[in-house]
Amino acid sequence: MNRAKHSSVISLAWCCWEVPDSLCCSMYSVLHQRCGQLPPLAISTLSLIPQTQAINQQQETFVHDLLRRGLTRIYSDYWTCDRTTFQSKEKIICSDLIFINGQLKAHDRYAPYYAIVHANLHAAYILRIGSTEAETFAQKIESHTDQQFLHFRMDGYEVYQPW
């Protein structure tokens, strides 16, 4: 495949993350007609578009729900923090936590986020349902804290909001 055809494949794959499936399919057809046979990697990449669009929609819903509830300072796992802070354009600041030997530890790639979240006495803990972190956190607050939490589930996460 020559350079022009290769860049068209990349442009199509990039564009399809954000466009509806029907439009993506018609773009795929046009590209296939212009370029002939597409390389397996392009076909593989294009096949992931609907799944990626669904994940993006779930994340948009998650960010919207956090903002609607006023949860703008949160603790969560690394990947949830990274994507949530980015996708909310820093309306939500997240400090990522890890459990080491049963202890919560800050693990922020960007230290100011920890300071911002830690300064908020009402920062919520957002942990994936069924994760080791969620189970460990639930056990810890039941047996080792005087702090009270509002606990609910939202968008695949256990939410613990101090009050």
Task: Specify the pLDDT at position 5.
Answer: 46
β-strand 124-128 against 73-76: which pairing, if any? parallel
Task: Compute how many other C-beta atoms are within 10 angstroms of the C-beta atom of residue 25.
Answer: 14
CA nearest 159: which of 87, 68, 28?
Answer: 68
Task: Specify the pLDDT at position 76.
Answer: 94
Q: Could you say which residues of the chain have pLDDT below 50? A: 1-19
Task: Specify the pLDDT at position 58.
Answer: 92
Q: How many residues does the chain have?
A: 163
Sign of CA dihedral 128, 73, 90, 107: negative
